[in-house]
Structure 1
Amino acid sequence: MSRSPQTEAEQNIALLADDKFTEITRVPIWDPEQDDVLVCRQVRQETHDVKTFVFSGREPRAFRFYPGQYMTFELPVEGRVTRCYTISASAARPYRVEITVKRVPGGPGSNWLHDYMIPGKEITVSGPAGEFTTDATTEEKLLFLSAGSGITPMMSMTRTACDLSEPSDLHFIHAARMPSDIIFRDELALLSAQNPSLKLAFTCDTTLASHSWSGYTGRLSLPMLSLMSADFMDRKIFCCGPALFMDGVRNMLKQAGFNMEKYYEESFDFGAETAGTHEEPASVAPEISDQLFRVSFPKTGHVVECGPGMTILSAAREAGLMPVSSCQRGICGTCKSKLLSGRVDMQHGGGIRQREIDQGKILICCSSPLSDIEVEL
């Protein structure tokens, strides 16, 4: 009896997470707890301000990830900067991972990568993590909506589906400033030509006469969406891009009466630069719900009381301290600190390794005290 496309695709991807995969390939699984260093193997210029960086292990390793997940990179700039970038590669090609990064004016992470990351250079990485993923080979009608560098998780999902078989019924809509800013334009056109169930549509804010543009022009609107994907109301929608773009999409879909339970998005707004995760801020559930705990910061001498469900980061700010932080979701690892004494409830999203936890480190943005504590910032 033949298996359904969904079962085959899920088993193919799940194989990457199975110990038997090592035996089949005779290539060990990459384990960031044992070796968290990757080597840049290739740099590709995608557009004038977007590059793809391809990485692999120092020795041959197989990576296991789901399409749409991200990895956290520790960059040697301004002391140390951590940034989360979505994997843009196909999960069905496990021997390398790649990220596609847009240069952000003034952004320390993206500018360092664009200026200094070259083949042969090593970088410290953790992950993968994140749950913004889907199997585009399922017998399910999907619609991907992306803008700018928000295309990266959608590209990973699309590449994976095309490698495993082909998308079952996928509409892929991408918005860009102008035609020259469309990332992966040629590859998407090729994938669409090879996979008839993959239908593409692009819209650009502006065009130039030299572009010979025959696609849509202007911001994505409800009438435009209806032309691009006439049955969008019947589809499961995945959205990723700048905050204003996603706000507009949500408002547009609500106006149309779309069932928002079938809408999924990935946030790309961590403040200074884009990063990849869709998860909501981690909820914290302390074991003791009605007790105040003392949070001490020995280096500065500050002491503050921390109420139920209050994070250590919030307590530090109430004490007048301004510890370095970024995502505030337990993802990026920027606020990593040493717990000197006491117990905490930490609900992180992948921004800290187990060996660091074993060494007494915590992420203060997603940790709440379970006793009086001392923290070294």
Structure 2
Amino acid sequence: MTDAPVLEISAEDALASQVTRELPGWDPEIDDVLVCRQVRDETHDVRTFVFSAREPRLFRYKPGQFITLDLPIGGQVINRCYTISSAPTRGHLISITVKRVPGGPVSNWLHDTLKPGMELRAVGPLGDFTTIDHPAPKYLFLSGGSGITPLMSMARTYHDLAQDRDIVFVHSARSPADIIFRTELDLMARNLPRFSTAYVCETTDTERAWSGFRGRLTLPMLRLIAPDLPERTVFTCGPAPYMAAVRAMLAEAGFDMRRYHEESFDFAALAEAQPDAAAASTVVPVPPPEAVARTFRVEFAKSGRVIECDAGTSILTAARVAGMRLPSSCTKGLCGTCKSKLVAGTVDMKHGGGIRQREIDAGQVLLCCSKPTSDVVVDR
């Protein structure tokens, strides 16, 4: 009796199986591991990192949402959120696009260390900065620097679906060489009749034949690019000063701010480039305690700090008021940046998806949305 022949599956057969059979969706509660498949240079200091699940899965999300990565840096796990730059129309892969921040521990680790084949854990996708939830006949996309990523995800989605949406995409960069996704945006403008792009660069020395706008975005410039500005729904993402300038321009123009949407927290920039701003941005006014509200003792085991926190206030807010600098970004229970181990005591936590159930079962909490129900000890 002879042994049955061993059937070898070729790479082509494996590929055909992956793209033709119906695949389950990626579920971080079941397997939260992402495998880096490719690293692409977008500009001299911006890279795109492309991931897949370990087994063939489809990523389902709304364009404009973000994921939170667990990054093993310096012997500890650091949580950082990055907007997804890929489109859900290409669900086999998911990507983030990251600018290297001078001195930034996380962006530099990603640029210098993350290579194809390496694995990271992730939570998400999450977030509500998406045109899917705000349908409109006309859009104006305004992005600055790496804030282009969520808007690019939206634009890629419409392009992949051949939906000729009326979109004016305005991107601000330091120079023409710093324009992220420039070639792809120009392709979209050629393929979609009502999709147009405009680039605004502070300096144009690297491109003598530059025909775009010079300087920084201004209201007269914006009115020239989009004469029908009052009719459009605006989506904005970029550094905090850029978004503040955009809001001021629109206010001056008498724009209906009910049709204005912005990415309300830039995790990477706040955490790396502007640590002081990150701390300030998370300070939330503490409501006056109710007469019957109890006050509890909160001890931070590693720092040795002890603070008082009433039952109606989150531990993060009380810590900020006491002058403590704790890592955080969204303050909404979404991003996971303030995730901490609860060593002792109990809390009431109402999160927005930024923590896995098994982490909760293991005693992890999000300080931004955890209110003490007893004296507690936190491993911080």
Match of 2:211 among 205, 211, 214: 214
Is residue 26 of structure 2 the alignment partner of residue 50 of structure 1? no
CA distance in 2, matches of 1:107, 1:29: 33
Question: What one-letter code is carried by the residue in structure 1 that aligns with 2:295?
Answer: F
- Give 2:3's aligned residue: none
- Give 2:8's aligned residue: none
Q: CA deviation at 1:251?
A: 0.4
CA distance in 2, matches of 1:161, 1:284: 42
User: Equivalent residue of 1:271, what SS?
Assistant: helix
Question: What one-letter code is carried by the residue in structure 2 that aligns with 1:85?
Answer: Y
- Give 1:291's aligned residue: 293
Question: What one-letter code is carried by the residue in structure 2 that aligns with 1:35?
Answer: D
- Give 2:349's aligned residue: 346
- Give 1:140's aligned residue: 137
- Give 1:117's aligned residue: 114
The equivalences for 1:153-192 within 5 A come to 153-192=150-189
Report the number of matched residues: 351
Asked if structure 1 preserves the Cα contact closer than 8 Å seen for 2:34 and 2:122, the reply is yes
CA distance in 1, matches of 2:184, 2:308: 55
CA distance in 2, matches of 1:282, 1:70: 23
> For structure 1, which runs of at least 5 residues remain unmatched after alignment?
1-21
Change (3 A) 1:248 1:296: closer
User: Equivalent residue of 2:38, what SS?
Assistant: strand
Identity %: 53
> For structure 2, which runs of at least 5 residues remain unmatched after alignment?
1-17, 275-280
Q: CA deviation at 1:270?
A: 2.4
Asked if structure 1 preserves the Cα contact closer than 8 Å seen for 2:315 and 2:371, the reply is yes
CA distance in 2, matches of 1:264, 1:195: 24
Question: What one-letter code is carried by the residue in structure 1 that aligns with 2:366?
Answer: L
Q: CA deviation at 1:114?
A: 0.7
TM-score (norm 1): 0.84
Change (3 A) 1:321 1:260: closer
Q: Deviations over 1:138-184 (max 9, x none)?
A: 56111100010000000000001111232421111111111010000
CA distance in 1, matches of 2:173, 2:300: 49
Change (3 A) 1:136 1:375: closer
Q: Deviations over 1:240-291 (max 9, x none)?
A: 00111100000000011001111000132423259xxxx9999999xx8841
Is residue 254 of structure 2 the alignment partner of residue 257 of structure 1? yes
- Give 1:60's aligned residue: 56
- Give 2:67's aligned residue: 71
CA distance in 1, matches of 2:108, 2:300: 35
User: Equivalent residue of 2:31, what SS?
Assistant: coil
More moved, 85-94 vs 128-137: 128-137
Question: What one-letter code is carried by the residue in structure 2 that aligns with 1:205?
Answer: E
Change (3 A) 1:298 1:137: closer
Q: CA deviation at 1:319?
A: 6.2
- Backbone CA RMSD of aligned residues: 3.0
More moved, 319-328 vs 209-218: 319-328
Change (3 A) 1:255 1:91: same
Asked if structure 2 preserves the Cα contact closer than 8 Å seen for 1:338 and 1:376, the reply is yes
More moved, 137-146 vs 118-127: 137-146
Which structure has the larger Rg?
2
Q: Deviations over 1:101-143 (max 9, x none)?
A: 1001011111111111111111111111111001399561111
More moved, 125-134 vs 136-145: 136-145
Asked if structure 2 preserves the Cα contact closer than 8 Å seen for 1:138 and 1:167, the reply is no
TM-score (norm 2): 0.84
Is residue 313 of structure 2 the alignment partner of residue 310 of structure 1? yes
- Give 1:360's aligned residue: 363
